[in-house]
């Protein structure tokens, strides 16, 4: 690997001019957010910038699609990116979805003709599914945002 040295900065500050020792071949290096992060020693942000630059989907878009119920595999296939890049943003959103499903199960349902709150939605669903032969251990709750 050849070592480069800084020769100049463009007038507008958008790129650096670098040169090799000896023959002095010159190169330009754009001054972007990744370079600024590296110079500041903020190496944890470099991976984030790489994902933002290389992915056709921004992190916010990936999370919105996960909230809407898409899987990491579906998003990766559609966007043409590795599934690992999608999984980077998946955890917190899956926790949100789980929390919302738990909240829904705890809601008290008022049955027709009654004035006081009745059983919870979770209890009603479990009872009705059990009556239809669905084993309780096969009941799985999830949520999705439209």
pLDDT > 90 fraction of the chain, expressed in percent and rounded:
42
What integer pLDDT is reported at residue 55 of this predicted model? 56
- Dig out the tokens for 112 from the structure: 């027709």
DSSP of the chain, one letter per residue?
Answer: ---EEEEEE-TTSSEEEEEESSS--EEEEE--HHHHHHHHT-THHHHHHHHHHH-SS-HHHHHHHHHTT--HHHHHHHHTS-HHHHHHHHHHHHHHHHHHHHHHHH-B-PPTT-SS--SBHHHHHHHHHHHTT--GGG--------
What integer pLDDT is reported at residue 52 of this predicted model? 52
pLDDT band at 90 (very low <50, low <70, confident <90, very high): very high
Reply yes or no on whether the pLDDT at 23 is more than 80. no
Give the pLDDT mean for 113-122.
89
Tell me which of 58 and 121 has the higher pLDDT. 121
The pLDDT tens digits of the residues spanning 24-82 come to 788 888 888 778 877 777 766 656 555 555 557 888 999 999 999 999 999 999 888 88
The phi, psi pair for 9, rounded to 5°, reads: -120, 135
Tell me which of 2 and 142 has the higher pLDDT. 142
pTM above 0.85, yes or no: no
pLDDT band at 11 (very low <50, low <70, confident <90, very high): confident
Q: CB-hemisphere CA count at 13 Å for 88? A: 20
């Amino acid at each position: 690997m050849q070592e480069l040295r800084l020769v100049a900065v463009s007038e507008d500050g958008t790129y650096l001019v670098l040169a090799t020792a000896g023959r002095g071949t010159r190169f330009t290096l754009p001054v972007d957010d990744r370079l600024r992060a590296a110079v500041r020693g903020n190496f944890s942000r470099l991976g984030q910038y790489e994902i933002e630059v290389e992915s056709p989907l921004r992190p916010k878009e990936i999370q919105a699609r996960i909230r809407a119920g898409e899987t990491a595999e579906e998003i990766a296939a559609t966007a043409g990116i590795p599934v690992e890049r999608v999984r980077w943003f998946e955890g917190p959103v899956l926790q949100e979805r789980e929390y919302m499903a738990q909240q829904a199960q705890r809601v008290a349902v008022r049955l027709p003709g009654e004035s006081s709150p009745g059983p919870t939605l979770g209890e009603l669903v479990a009872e009705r599914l059990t009556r239809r032969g669905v084993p309780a251990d096969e009941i799985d709750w999830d949520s999705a945002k439209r």
